[in-house]
Structure 1
Amino acid sequence: MPMKQSGRATDVREIDRLDGGVGWIAHPEEGMQRASHALAVPNEDAGEDDVWVVDPVDGEGVDDLLADLGDIRGVVVLMDRHARDAKAVADRHDVPIFVPSFVDPEMDAPTQPLGDTLPDTDFQVVRTVDWPVWQEAALYDGETLVVGDLVGTVEYFLAGRERVGVHPMLRLTPPDALRQFAPERILTGHGEGVLSDGTRALQDAVDGARRRAPKVWLKGVTSFLS
């Protein structure tokens, strides 16, 4: 199984269907399981929901998933490594690309800075990782937490019975921001989301991150060598 597939996907798998959004994995056969999401937020003035597409990987059928959600307002890139297919999706729907002010995704496209909130929504833009080689933000509205690589549910993030795991590179010192979230659901950039009891799953992930790190690292080495 390749870790990452290239080119436009032809086999898009729907994940994380919820009231107010949907997710998808554009290359279900890849090891990284790159997940993308669309958030539908009520807009009383427009009479239909605003749709925000987050960290998209494009593919055949993506527009079908978006069609019934509402009016696409913009594309959001949460971290420096997640430019992905943001430009292609934004160009096709003629909408801007929004990026947190402290994140540089190094994409060949104009972007608009995100401040403290996603415009006209209850989603806060929270700085989670700010390293020279890694800048990432999360979106959080008190119920739904949307992240890039901070935590994930794909196999190489997980140890033991974890439902969601801290990124292998963050396990020794999990970001403090993780302890300020108490979500019902977690939508991650790698793997299917946690759609219920997200606070308990996240707390378990953070509390056990350092202790379980060797298991995750060994799993990664084994996967790389196999």
Structure 2
Amino acid sequence: MKGSGETPEWQEIDRFDGGTGWIAYPDEGMQRASHALVANDDGDGEADVWLVDPVDVPDLDSLLAGLGTVRGVVLLLDRHRRDGAAIANRHDVSVWLPRFFDGVAEDLDAPVELFRHDLADSGFTVHEVVDSRFWQEAFLYDRDRGILVVPEAVGTGDYLLAGDERLGVHPMLRLKPPSGLTRLNPEHILVGHGRGVHEDATAALEDAIRGSQSRTPALVVKNIRKILPL
């Protein structure tokens, strides 16, 4: 399910005026996606770049240099440590964590900044999705630019999608989906597993939440069939 080792065939995804993304191991089932968000871009080449849940790949720094200057690394899921600390150290920046995350900062071999609401002056704000002993997750939202970043609760990896869904709720959250997300009106949804949604994003999000419970049996059957030779 999860790739490892050298990543010569990584793919860039989600290129738009708010940044870009990449999938380090395109053939892995989990389709782990990383993103570079561009903020404070005045067209002078001095934009700030914020990396979200990054997995390192060859020539990543060249990709980032074309966007601006790395300002920090943001982790939005307690399990998504990935290569965040190593990349932060390489760029001499901190790893930024939502303040409600517990037990994550201690495991990171890099400087850490805790933030409660605003991600510095990036225009993004952080909001809680899940906060439990077993799962701590937050999302980023830039209301003015309509950019939503959700690391785990929703995604587009095949194992997350039931029927003709363009965006699906995580199997572990389907019976109690994150309905608060439907209060948002994103134009772009970037996810931690799979490619983002850039067309009719709000409609895709509303459909994912609304149909989450009723489509759960179909998703369970689909994923079992992928694992077992039925």
TM-score class, shorter = over 0.9
CA distance in 1: counterparts of 2:47 and 2:63, whole angstroms: 14
Q: 1:206 corresponds to which residue?
A: 209
CA distance in 1: counterparts of 2:107 and 2:82, whole angstroms: 9
Sort the Cα spacing of 1:190 and 1:47 in 2 relative to 1 into closer, same or farther, 3 A.
closer
- Selected match of 1:32 from 30, 33, 48: 30
Q: 2:159 corresponds to which residue?
A: 156
Q: 1:194 corresponds to which residue?
A: 197
Q: 2:68 corresponds to which residue?
A: 70
Q: Is the 8 A contact 1:20 1:39 kept in 2?
A: yes
- Please identify runs of 4+ aligned residues in structure 1 that moved more than 6 A: none
Secondary structure of the 1:209 match is coil
Q: Please, which moves more after superposition, 56-65 or 207-216?
A: 56-65
CA distance in 2: counterparts of 1:108 and 1:39, whole angstroms: 22
Q: Is the 8 A contact 1:12 1:61 kept in 2?
A: no
Q: 1:59 corresponds to which residue?
A: 57
CA distance in 1: counterparts of 2:135 and 2:52, whole angstroms: 18
Q: Is the 8 A contact 2:35 2:53 kept in 1?
A: yes
Normalising by structure 1, we get a TM-score of 0.94
CA distance in 2: counterparts of 1:171 and 1:122, whole angstroms: 30
CA distance in 1: counterparts of 2:45 and 2:119, whole angstroms: 19
Q: Give CA deviations for 1:17-69 in whole Å, capped at 9, x if unaligned.
A: 0002000000111110000000010166x971110000001011222221111
Contiguous gaps of at least 5 residues in structure 2: none
Normalising by structure 2, we get a TM-score of 0.92
Q: Is the 8 A contact 1:52 1:74 kept in 2?
A: yes
Q: Which amino acid letter does the alignment assign opposite residue 7 of structure 1? A: G
- Selected match of 1:165 from 161, 168, 172: 168
The 5-angstrom pairing of residues 66-215 of structure 1 reads: 66-104=64-102, 105=104, 107-109=107-109, 110-142=111-143, 143-215=146-218
Q: Please, which moves more after superposition, 10-19 or 97-106?
A: 97-106
Q: Which amino acid letter does the alignment assign opposite residue 108 of structure 2? A: D
Percent identity over the alignment is 53
Secondary structure of the 2:107 match is coil
Q: Which amino acid letter does the alignment assign opposite residue 221 of structure 1? A: I
Q: 1:4 corresponds to which residue?
A: 2
CA distance in 1: counterparts of 2:99 and 2:222, whole angstroms: 35
Offset at 1:199? Answer: 0.4
Q: 1:13 corresponds to which residue?
A: 11
Q: Is the 8 A contact 2:24 2:57 kept in 1?
A: yes
Q: 1:23 corresponds to which residue?
A: 21
Secondary structure of the 1:112 match is strand
Offset at 1:146? Answer: 0.3
Q: Is the 8 A contact 2:179 2:209 kept in 1?
A: no
Q: Which amino acid letter does the alignment assign opposite residue 107 of structure 2? A: M
Q: Which amino acid letter does the alignment assign opposite residue 102 of structure 1? A: F
Q: Which amino acid letter does the alignment assign opposite residue 167 of structure 2? A: V
Q: Is the 8 A contact 2:176 2:213 kept in 1?
A: yes
Q: What's the Cα RMSD here? A: 1.5
The 5-angstrom pairing of residues 36-47 of structure 1 reads: 36-42=34-40
CA distance in 1: counterparts of 2:198 and 2:85, whole angstroms: 28
CA distance in 1: counterparts of 2:79 and 2:54, whole angstroms: 12
Contiguous gaps of at least 5 residues in structure 1: none
